A and B are shown apart, each in its own frame.
Chain A
Amino acid sequence: MSLRGTAAVIGLAERAPQRYTGNETNLDLLSGVAVEAMADAGIDRAEVDGLLVHPIGGLPGFVPATVAEFVGLRPRFAEVVDLGGATGAGMVWRAAAAIGAGMCTTCLCLTGTRRRRRRASPRTSGAEPSSTVHQPRSNPPTRDRSPHAEFDAPYGLIGANVGYALLATRYAHEYELSDAQRAKVAVDQRRNANANPAAIFHDQPLTIDDVLGSEVICEPLHMLEIVMPAAGAAALVVTAADRVVDAAQPPAWLLGAGEAVTHSSLAQAPDLGETGIGVAARAAFSMAGVGPSEIGLASLYDCYTIMVLLTLEEAGFCKAGEAGAFVESHDLSYAGDFPLNSHGGQLSFGQAGMAGGMSHVTEAVRQIQGRGGERQVQGLEVAYAHGNGGIIAEQVGLVFGAGR
């Protein structure tokens, strides 16, 4: 069974990423964008019979049931998607699959994460840090296991900076890639953010010298090649083909989808050129019956500059080893010859927690719907959105079209 043309996104809502949220809880954020997305689609909550959410802080379980009750839904299909930064994209094809299987007709996909100012924590040398990975000395052997805490964290492979720096080093060893080529991605995306009032860095221009002059956090990655944590929420309404005609907004048809999960620890990842990025992208293009050359907007997960370069070549937008030269020779802005992350990408729009990955999907949908405003990509027919979770561990590719 193919999902092509089974369902379309007909509505969306997105909070502009903020550095911190106030007193809103994760449930408040999710229910807020749920209400806004249903209003955008022009549907009543009684019409929503599917719900996709992700694990959220404060709830050890029963997440779909809790969210459904708070939003006022009684879904016939409800599920948690747990694919890190690929979660939002992973929700969309799951919604379409559930619709195609007759398990629901209209599905809400909700993502969002609050973020509060941390109280100052002691950072002095020798102080015992509090951390989930730091176990007390007398800890007996555990019955359940965390391979990450046992074999990665003791060496400092904690968070994502170190992992993506390891990928950047390996890539530069196998191919040619300069610091300035990586920086070009961040700079062109910033030009897009400068045309997006919702972007967290809307008012700040950026040059290659700015990027290369910023602090090196993990060699070779500079601070301005790394997403800044933010907070926010985003929601999509996915509905069955026969309901699209009644919708208030033009549809963004799901034409193709692909997914790949390959590892947990980066040390166990497939070699470059054989990662799940290409597996997911090829499946999505194959289902859609289009190739990378037909894509008018690439909305690619960009937690780091290197991730965009890896995706460009493994998804087939350029040949292996040529991503650096590709970004150098193309204008990646919304008005350029290869529009990329027209919202600014997470690097410049903001990584609003679990809504960060969803931003690549909401932007592809918005652009296909012709609602891009100042940054609208002209004549857009087909867009590609890519989600990436963990350290290139979880991949989802989606192809959207203005026509079915």
Chain B
Amino acid sequence: MSARPIPPTSELTEPYWDAARRGELVVQRCERCGQRPFPPRAHCPGCGGPSLSWAPVSGRGTVHSYTVAHRPPHPVFAAQLPLVVAIVELEEGPRMVTNLVDCDPADLEVGMAVEARFEPIDDADMVLPVFTPTRRPGSTGTA
């Protein structure tokens, strides 16, 4: 559980948040051209197609960039410093803003493999997809 600005959902985005509550990451897919747009929307930004269906993604990706924040970007994060904010590129292509959790900030690198985790938000019936470095088989440690 962590304190967060609570995401204001919409009818269109509810399937994304419902999936997160189930521990799944889903991203839209354009039925016409196959593009995977993010954040969710009504029309494909690639071809204008009006049919975007929800489809699961692997939850695996790589770190496109990250920063370790030593001051809270918003007071709600004051007890969670240092906060690692990142952009993760999913295996399936789309990039999303996220946090990297369960990691030592000193070990982070651009390009490192990460996988999705799901973190309940304080005081809300919502679960937020976050990411953590992928543990390679045979590696030791509890991170």
Contacts and interface: CB of A to CB of B under 8 A. Distances in A.
B42 to A, nearest CB: 10
Interface string A122-159: 01111101010111110101111111011111111111
Contact residues of B: prevailing secondary structure: mixed
**How extensive is the interface on chain B, given as a class?**
35 or more
Contacts of B67: 162, 165-166, 168-169, 218-221
Contact of A170 (B79, B96, B97, B110): B110
A268 interface: yes
B65 interface: yes
A217 B70 contact: yes
Contacts of B128: 154-155
A25 interface: no
B123 interface: yes
Nearest to B109: A173
A142 B79 CA distance: 29
Interface in A157-212: 157-159, 161-162, 165-170, 173
B48 interface: no
A134 B9 CA distance: 12
Given A129-B76, A169-B65, A268-B95, A155 B10 contact: no
A120 interface: no
A250 B94 CA distance: 51
Contacts of B66: 166, 169
Contacts of A139: 6, 8
Interface in B70-90: 70-79, 83, 85-87
A142 B10 contact: yes
B69 A156 contact: yes
A216 interface: yes
B11 A155 contact: no
Interface of A: 121, 123-127, 129, 131, 133-137, 139, 141-147, 149-159, 161-162, 165-170, 173, 215-221, 265-268
Interface of B: 3-14, 38-39, 64-79, 83, 85-87, 95-99, 105, 110-111, 121, 123-125, 128, 130
19 contacts: A126-B79, A134-B5, A134-B6, A135-B5, A149-B5, A149-B7, A151-B38, A154-B4, A155-B130, A156-B72, A156-B73, A156-B77, A157-B85, A161-B69, A161-B73, A169-B110, A173-B65, A218-B85, A268-B95
